[in-house]
Amino acid sequence: HPCFIQHIYYSGKMNLLILFILFTFLPGSFMSSAIHRCFCKVTGSLDDCACDVETIDSFNNRKLFPQLQKLLSSDYFRFYKVNLNNPCPFWTDSGHCGLRDCAVKPCTPVSSYSLEGNRDTEDCEMAEKLGAVNSSLSDETRLALLDWNRYDDEADRFCMHDDEDSPDSQYVDLLLNPERYTGYKGLEAWKIWNSIYEENCFKPYSVKRPLDPLVSNRGEFVGFYQWLEGLCVEKRAFFRLVSGLHASINVHLSARYMLDDNWYERRWGPNVTEFQLRFDEELTKGEGPKWLRNLYFLYLIELRALAKVLPFFERPSLHLYTGQTQQDRKNKELLLELLHMAKSFPLHFDETTLFAGDKKEADKLKNDFKLTFKNISRIMDCVGCFKCRLWGKLQTQGLGTALKILFSEKQIEALHQSSSIKPSFQLSRQEIVALFNAFGRISTSIRELENFRLLLSELNQ
């Protein structure tokens, strides 16, 4: 991905200027093919699987997406415990966002009692907007969450996780902290994705990624796809998952962009220009549509995990506990309905194609997957924008949980034979919340693509 493109901050005026240039100075064919250049290759069958884009669009947008959004708005799934204060373990510079709106700056009560304090309060409140995490919870909610922990299943995590007993960990209401554009940009932000791609995707340094801003010889990029196609299917899938996650984040940043900022409100909505900058085939030298296809691949992987984990949630002893008996029962019914819907998808990814070779070699490759993914989850502690860090950690843990499920097929199948005291497969509440919210992000991205198709088609009229 063009990290230098992803994190460039375009103000509302800059976007208007770009649109003016596109409409005024470029040939009519440029604008008339806007939708073609973003989506012409985002169609048909996907690589390494039997599914196609159109089947996913129909299934997600018409059936699964509405049900999933209803589930994620429930109390069990809206609260996520996270430590946003872990230091970056990989580099020593500040790693903080270049914009004050990405930083959390708590307002002190005394600041409201003087003119100078009032000015500080205004600055403080501004700094808590875009990239800040709203951690406000009522005392009643905090006590309830402590009670929920007693019902949590302990389990071995697939990826790194926060010490949930740490005094720095806090519950965050995800509905109060939506994933959207924050203006997080610059070298700090670029280093995050560069570290993930260069050091954690099984790629040798001699192979250069397309649109790498540190490489001057564009001819070297031809070798990247030759290298990618030469990988075993497992490592190629890993790269596509990371790329798909990156694409999904970019879709959200374009779909929930700050369109207007004035004295009484901030208005958020889809920014077509921003979407084109990130995914237009010409503006990304052919890479944008490939990233969107990887987003669909990621969707298939996480959807398959939901289908495979159904026996775990079907157990009578499994409760989505919040202390509200009737609502908890309804939530489990809704969740099971969603999982059965996921299982009914006609063109699932065939995970048996992964790790199907020599057992010793397959076990080593699985372990490499786990170690690499743990490293990526640690990189999330280097994200300077706290809201970006929140969603980065959640989505990384969610994808890690999906992979854990796909790697535990035998343990899940043995659940009906194992005791309720020590089941053969376990998920913690933290993993469950991360799994479904992460898939919720991917599902929303697929839904947003339909909206951008419509908006781009309107440019031609």
CA-to-CA dists, residue 99 to 91, 96, 104, 384, angstroms: 20, 9, 11, 10
Instruction: Assess whether pLDDT exceeds 60 at residue 292.
Output: yes
Structure tokens belonging to residue 30: 């440029």
Residue 78 marked as a ligand binder: no
For the record, the structure tokens of 36 come out as 């073609």
Name the residue with higher pLDDT: 217 or 304: 304
| pLDDT at res. 275 | 93
Give CA torsion, residues 200, 434, 425, 400, to 10 deg. Answer: -10
Q: In this model, does residue 354 exceed pLDDT 80?
A: no
Which value, to the nearest 10 degrees, does the dihedral of the CA atoms of residues 185, 295, 251, 285 take? 70
User: What confidence score (pLDDT) does residue 104 get?
Assistant: 32
**pLDDT, position 355:** 72
User: Any binding-site annotation on 180?
Assistant: yes
Bridge partners, residue 167, by sequence: none
pLDDT-based confidence at residue 107 (cuts at 50, 70, 90): very low
Lowest model confidence (mean pLDDT) among 321-330, 332-341, 366-375, 379-388? 366-375
Let me know: does 237 contact 48? Beta carbons within 8 Å: yes
Query: Annotation-wise, does 111 bind a ligand?
Result: no
User: pLDDT grade, residue 370 (50/70/90)?
Assistant: confident
> Would you state the torsion angle of the CA atoms of residues 200, 201, 203, 205, taken in this order, to the nearest 10 degrees?
-40
**Per-residue model confidence (pLDDT) at position 204:** 75
Q: Which residue type occupies 11?
A: S
Q: Average of pLDDT values for 78-93? A: 84
To the query of whether residue 102 is one of the catalytic residues in this protein, the response is: no
pLDDT confidence bin for 6, thresholds 50/70/90: very low
Element (H, E) at 308: helix 288-308
Q: Which residues, 6+ apart, have CB-to-CB distance to 428 below 8 Å? A: 152, 153, 154, 155, 157
Is 385 tagged catalytic?
yes
Q: Which of 14-18, 171-175, 371-375 has the lowest mean pLDDT?
A: 14-18
Is 262's pLDDT higher than 80?
A: no
Residue 182 counted as an annotated binding residue: yes
Map residue 278 onto helix, strand or coil: helix
pLDDT at 286 over 60: yes
Q: According to the model, what pLDDT value does residue 296 have?
A: 94
Q: Which of 433, 430, 427 is nearest to 415 (CA)?
A: 427
Q: Under a CB-based contact definition with an 8 Å cutoff, are residues 283 and 290 in contact?
A: no
Of residues 219 and 33, more confidently modeled: 33
Give the pLDDT of residue 241.
93
Higher pLDDT, 157 or 80: 80
What's the average model confidence in pLDDT over 360-370?
81
In the structure encoding, which two tokens stand for residue 121, read together? Answer: 């309060």
Q: Residue 360 has which token pair? A: 């010793």
Q: Is the pLDDT of residue 408 over 90?
A: no
Query: CA torsion, points 347, 348, 349, 355, in degrees to nearest 10?
Result: -130
* From 3, 51, 102, 385, active-site residue: 385
Q: d(Cα 386, Cα 104) in Å, to the nearest integer?
A: 7
Instruction: List phi, psi (to 5°) of 429.
Output: -60, -40
Structure token pair of residue 371 = 């170690």
Element housing 457 (H / E) = helix 429-459
Residues 77-98, mean pLDDT to the nearest whole number: 76
Average pLDDT over residues 271-283: 91
Q: How many CA atoms lie within 13 A of 236 on its CB side?
A: 16
243 among annotated binding-site residues:
yes
pLDDT tens digit sequence for 219-258 = 556 677 777 777 778 888 888 999 999 999 999 999 999 8
In the chain the first and final C-alpha atoms are separated, in Å, by 31
Instruction: Please pick, among 49, 88, 201, 388, the residue that the annotation labels catalytic.
Output: 388
Please, what is the average pLDDT of the chain? 77
Least confident of 109-118, 139-148, 387-396, 403-412: 109-118
pLDDT category of residue 10 using cuts at 50, 70 and 90? very low
Q: How confident is the model at residue 110 (pLDDT cuts 50, 70, 90)?
A: very low
